[in-house]
Structure 1
Amino acid sequence: MSYTIDTVVAISTPPGRGGIGIIRISGKSVPEIAHKLLGKIPNPRKAEYLPFLDTDGSILEQVIALFFPEPNSFTGENILEIHGHGGQIILDILLERILKTSSDIRIAHPGEFTKRAFLNNKIDLVQAEAIADIIDATSYQAAKSASNSLQGIFSRKIHIISEQLTNLRMYAESSIDFSEDEISIIPYEDIKKKLRNIINDVQKMYKSTYHGVLLREGIKIVIAGKPNAGKSSLFNALVGIDRAIISTISGTTRDTLHECVQLNGIAFHITDTAGLQKKSDNEIEQIGMKRTWEELSNSDHILWVIDPNDKTDKEHDITLEHVEKVLFCKNKKPAITIIHNKSDLTKNKIGISIINNYTIITLSALFDDGTDLLKEYLSNNIKFQIQEDYSYNLAENQGNFIARRRHLDALEKSSKYLLSAQTQLLSAMSINELFAEDLGLAHKELSKIFGKCTPDDLLTRIFSTFCIGK
């Protein structure tokens, strides 16, 4: 891209007052700029304490300078980092001086340093996204998993599948090219087996990637149930503040409330919702229930709250089975935990049990009795699921990675094309052009994960979310 001819500069530390401020410069003109600013080109990859010179030769600041010559730098270009005092005014003065040193230097766009690293093949797109995810991480697990992605754990897993698919495509194309010569490149049964293994790997990878998305975005917990079941009390107990209004009057909550908490290093986005019932003549209640259904459709885990003392008329009751049926029709299958609330009134023993494959937790939300048990269950359950699905390889020091929705989309589309290829193979009982075409389309979807075959507008959207200076 033409803009890589330019030399770019940006302040890489956050705005404000601090002990150190860092300015980063990348591009062809860095050696020339270094001479004008510092009187010399610093020794490569060695920190040097140097005067930062104004246009008249006077000293503006004493700085530590680091020079990374191309191609052995983060961007693959010449990079000069200047470490000075962290006041915003002095950094602005230094930045203004740098912009006067050369006609082809300009302020970097958001994420442009990382984008140049990607365009110069220093990192792939997954690793570029991981850099932003490390900066934006909202929990310990998210930061650790983003670091793993930056080290290439996610990329290596996808590369292995991509390489297997490349070999299968090679066999398929060769078999088609030499079909008239009756030369068998590889037996039909072997092709079928290799394809089945790739499909299994892609589907397993989809599951792992889904949990990588959860680590990045956090787990969406929705508290739902009938009116006056104690949902708002449970919400307040989980988030640790009196966020929701609590009343014995049925239907107090008419809108959704959202808070984020961390449990064992994982971010949980907890939502309190309006009570559900089969029908209501109240227009506001109807709107509240509509929003509850929207939250349920986008949830990762549902806490279905029950008041065992409830003896109200069953005409307006809504059951968990009905909720599951509605979500199933929308192709949504969140995990569900049943909460038997108000143990202070029922005198039921606080604890966990399993009935009909449902986990049931008995507690008193109002008195915050048993909610620690629920928190422990949620964090341990989510962590266990993620660890089970990630297929650790201790010999390669592989573990959790972080992922994005676009990765999920690419894997899902790739899986569909592979399944279509399998159908073509089994129905024709031989390798044909349609089979090969589906393999090619599946391969193209996997390539999008790394940034190959990726439209420029998508790249622009991805890097525009980065901070300036990164």
Structure 2
Amino acid sequence: MQTDSDPIIAIATAPGRGGIGVIRVSGPDLHGWAESLCRQPLQPRHAHFLAFRDVRGETLDEGLVLFFPGPHSYTGEDVLELQGHGGPAVLRRVLEDCLARGADIGLRLAQPGEFTQRAFLNDRMDLAQAEAVADLIEASSAAAAKSAMASLSGAFSAEVDALSQRIVKLRMLVEATLDFPEEEIDFLEKYQASARLHEVQASLERVLQTARQGRVLREGLYVVLAGQPNVGKSSLLNALAGEDVAIVTPIAGTTRDRVVQQIHLEGVPLHIVDTAGLREATDAVERIGIERSWAEIGRAQVIVHLQDARQPDDPLDADIVRRLPVGVPVLRVWNKVDLLASSPSVPGSSEGEARRTEGHDAALATPPIGSCDENPVLISARTGTGLDELRTRLLGIAGWTPGAESPWLARERHIQALEEAGEHLRVAAGYAAQGDQILDLFAEELRLAHESLCRITGQFTSDDLLGEIFSSFCIGK
């Protein structure tokens, strides 16, 4: 049966070939085993160059060995690192030899995130910092990496701890008043409890707003481009990506399956999905592609409904709008505005040339029936017209403030905990307004707010949550 005290081992570098490969071992009282493995004394935190030999004395590899005695190590336990060549076969041979020679001490393969989990359990870092380790590894932009490093350094935790301490001080005053009711102190007036509570609420709201920015920077936005065939979805994807990631032809129905591309706007990752054109299809392959398009639309956080600016009254677009999921932001974008002046007529119109310019302008100014956005974006994916406005609108929907810089990253569970704490403080303020007669309820809401904040750093955390968090880490970290 596996326990948290078992010695563990894993390859800590990414799979594949590389110049250097690292094998990491962690566990209590590893010093004697480590020296036996290396066949020489090991000076703490000193690099030793030596050959990695198996039990028969055959050289498997050569490289550096570093030994970090606990508690002054990453995990808080004794840690041994073998740094050799990065070939998969070489690393695997060394790993298998270590496991065979560590059988007598119960050495086993580490689970995903188990090294960082032990760092948390041994008080080397709190839970928010531990999560920042995974965020730093997964960061897809320089801004995200910078903010993840700030979280790992404890910037977010410090903000949360400061809020917690202010609530604790207020709780202490309340509890003392409840313990000595004979003093007949007007608590709320004497200690200005309401004013102090409002200050804490304001501080929490500032932290919450920053955390929301941090969540956007970490998670980004899943954006689906939807519309009829040949309205320019693939061209728009290429224009946003800055490269030809999707095939573009004049033939309607060219895109048969989704194309996903990640781009960054001010460091915020946007996952842009190009989909097959939406229409009634008789071709079996195209029909499957359209079904997948609707499936992607169902998963979207934002839908960009792309339309041809030369056909503002197309009834098929109104049908598409009616089928879009409720509750998902829809950004209406009219493409090909560069072709308005040269268009001979509006397709499907009997007005012809008379509507070529003024008619189009009027149509663009009056959104068609069924529109989800009364302020459409006018663009040309071919020339780049309007793309800056589109980028700004997408960031706005994501909740990102242009020019802002999130000092740390945050996750959805952090946002929920902060919002719960804010709600408890709001209820507490309501009790405070009713006077000292219900101080016990006031104190209880302060306690619940404090517990909500403590869940962020892991002071009150269920084992199930820990398992969920650390299982998402890569093996060896």
Q: Same fold (TM over 0.5)?
A: yes
Q: Determine the structure 1 residue equivalent to 2:117.
A: 115
- The one-letter code of the counterpart of 1:5 is S
Residue segments in structure 1 that go unaligned for 5+ positions in a row: 349-353, 391-398
Greater CA deviation, 6-15 or 171-180?
171-180
What is the alpha-carbon distance in structure 2 between the residues aligned to residue 192 and residue 276 of structure 1? Answer: 57
1:172-194 CA distances to partner (integer Å, 9 max, x unpaired)?
22222223321345636721112
What is the alpha-carbon distance in structure 2 between the residues aligned to residue 386 and residue 430 of structure 1? Answer: 47
What is the alpha-carbon distance in structure 1 between the residues aligned to residue 26 and residue 468 of structure 2? Answer: 22
The answer (yes or no) to whether the contact 2:378–2:386 under 8 Å persists in 1 is no
What is the alpha-carbon distance in structure 1 between the residues aligned to residue 305 and residue 248 of structure 2? Answer: 19
Q: Determine the structure 2 residue equivalent to 1:75.
A: 75
The answer (yes or no) to whether the contact 1:226–1:318 under 8 Å persists in 2 is no
Q: Is 1:342–2:349 an aligned residue pair?
A: no
1:247-298 CA distances to partner (integer Å, 9 max, x unpaired)?
687x998987643223454321124568899xx9x999997897587456x3
Structure 1 residues 423 and 275, CA gap change in structure 2 (3 angstroms) = farther
1:415-448 CA distances to partner (integer Å, 9 max, x unpaired)?
2222122222223465522221111111111111
Structure 1 residues 234 and 16, CA gap change in structure 2 (3 angstroms) = closer
Q: Determine the structure 2 residue equivalent to 1:444.
A: 451
Greater CA deviation, 120-129 or 419-428?
419-428
What is the alpha-carbon distance in structure 2 between the residues aligned to residue 446 and residue 194 of structure 1? Answer: 18
1:407 offset after TM fit, Å?
Answer: 0.9
The answer (yes or no) to whether the contact 2:187–2:436 under 8 Å persists in 1 is no
SS of match in other structure, 1:204: helix
The answer (yes or no) to whether the contact 2:223–2:271 under 8 Å persists in 1 is yes
1:215-364 correspondence runs (5 A): 215-223=217-225, 230-239=232-241, 240-241=243-244, 243=246, 258-272=260-274, 294-295=298-299, 298-299=301-302, 303=304, 305=306, 307-310=308-311, 312=313, 317=318, 330=327, 339-347=333-341, 361-364=377-380
Q: Is 1:433–2:434 an aligned residue pair?
A: no
The answer (yes or no) to whether the contact 2:264–2:270 under 8 Å persists in 1 is yes
Q: Determine the structure 1 residue equivalent to 2:8.
A: 8
Q: Is 1:177–2:179 an aligned residue pair?
A: yes
Q: Determine the structure 2 residue equivalent to 1:395.
A: none
What is the alpha-carbon distance in structure 2 between the residues aligned to residue 247 and residue 426 of structure 1? Answer: 68
- The one-letter code of the counterpart of 1:363 is I
1:335-371 CA distances to partner (integer Å, 9 max, x unpaired)?
x7664432222249xxxxx99x987654312x24326
SS of match in other structure, 1:3: coil
Structure 1 residues 177 and 227, CA gap change in structure 2 (3 angstroms) = farther
What is the alpha-carbon distance in structure 2 between the residues aligned to residue 374 and residue 31 of structure 1? Answer: 61
Residue segments in structure 2 that go unaligned for 5+ positions in a row: 342-356, 358-364, 367-372
**Highest CA radius of gyration, 1 or 2?**
2
The answer (yes or no) to whether the contact 1:9–1:25 under 8 Å persists in 2 is yes
Q: Is 1:373–2:388 an aligned residue pair?
A: yes
The answer (yes or no) to whether the contact 1:171–1:186 under 8 Å persists in 2 is no
1:113 offset after TM fit, Å?
Answer: 0.8
Structure 1 residues 168 and 255, CA gap change in structure 2 (3 angstroms) = farther
- The one-letter code of the counterpart of 1:22 is V
Count of residue correspondences: 442
The answer (yes or no) to whether the contact 1:174–1:185 under 8 Å persists in 2 is no
What is the alpha-carbon distance in structure 2 between the residues aligned to residue 423 and residue 45 of structure 1? Answer: 56
The answer (yes or no) to whether the contact 1:232–1:272 under 8 Å persists in 2 is yes
Q: Is 1:461–2:468 an aligned residue pair?
A: yes
TM-score, structure 2 normalization: 0.78
- The one-letter code of the counterpart of 1:51 is A
SS of match in other structure, 1:468: coil
What is the alpha-carbon distance in structure 2 between the residues aligned to residue 338 and residue 193 of structure 1? Answer: 46
1:88-99 correspondence runs (5 A): 88-99=88-99
1:134-192 CA distances to partner (integer Å, 9 max, x unpaired)?
11222222222211111111111111111111112112222222233213456367211
1:215 offset after TM fit, Å?
Answer: 1.2
TM-score, structure 1 normalization: 0.79
The answer (yes or no) to whether the contact 2:232–2:335 under 8 Å persists in 1 is yes
Q: Determine the structure 2 residue equivalent to 1:420.
A: 427
Structure 1 residues 313 and 47, CA gap change in structure 2 (3 angstroms) = closer
The answer (yes or no) to whether the contact 2:142–2:267 under 8 Å persists in 1 is yes
1:409 offset after TM fit, Å?
Answer: 1.4
What is the alpha-carbon distance in structure 2 between the residues aligned to residue 305 and residue 56 of structure 1? Answer: 68
What is the alpha-carbon distance in structure 2 between the residues aligned to residue 254 and residue 155 of structure 1? Answer: 47
Among 190, 194, 197, the alignment partner of 1:195 is 197
1:200-219 correspondence runs (5 A): 200-219=202-221
What is the alpha-carbon distance in structure 2 between the residues aligned to residue 363 and residue 375 of structure 1? Answer: 8
Structure 1 residues 247 and 288, CA gap change in structure 2 (3 angstroms) = farther
The answer (yes or no) to whether the contact 2:262–2:271 under 8 Å persists in 1 is yes
The answer (yes or no) to whether the contact 1:266–1:379 under 8 Å persists in 2 is no
1:146-165 correspondence runs (5 A): 146-165=148-167
Greater CA deviation, 451-460 or 181-190?
181-190
1:469 offset after TM fit, Å?
Answer: 1.2
> What root-mean-square deviation, in Å, do the aligned CA atoms of Structure 1 and Structure 2 show?
4.0
SS of match in other structure, 2:380: coil
Structure 1 residues 85 and 225, CA gap change in structure 2 (3 angstroms) = closer
Structure 1 residues 309 and 425, CA gap change in structure 2 (3 angstroms) = same
Q: Determine the structure 2 residue equivalent to 1:351.
A: none
- The one-letter code of the counterpart of 2:152 is L
Structure 1 residues 116 and 288, CA gap change in structure 2 (3 angstroms) = closer
The answer (yes or no) to whether the contact 1:264–1:379 under 8 Å persists in 2 is no
The answer (yes or no) to whether the contact 2:276–2:290 under 8 Å persists in 1 is no
Structure 1 residues 363 and 405, CA gap change in structure 2 (3 angstroms) = same
SS of match in other structure, 1:55: coil
- The one-letter code of the counterpart of 2:209 is K
SS of match in other structure, 1:40: coil
What is the alpha-carbon distance in structure 2 between the residues aligned to residue 109 and residue 92 of structure 1? Answer: 17
SS of match in other structure, 1:427: coil
What is the alpha-carbon distance in structure 1 between the residues aligned to residue 90 and residue 173 of structure 2? Answer: 63
Structure 1 residues 198 and 188, CA gap change in structure 2 (3 angstroms) = same
The answer (yes or no) to whether the contact 2:164–2:453 under 8 Å persists in 1 is yes
Structure 1 residues 426 and 225, CA gap change in structure 2 (3 angstroms) = farther
What is the alpha-carbon distance in structure 2 between the residues aligned to residue 424 and residue 380 of structure 1? Answer: 39
What is the alpha-carbon distance in structure 2 between the residues aligned to residue 205 and residue 431 of structure 1? Answer: 29
Structure 1 residues 3 and 284, CA gap change in structure 2 (3 angstroms) = closer
Q: Is 1:66–2:66 an aligned residue pair?
A: yes
SS of match in other structure, 1:432: helix
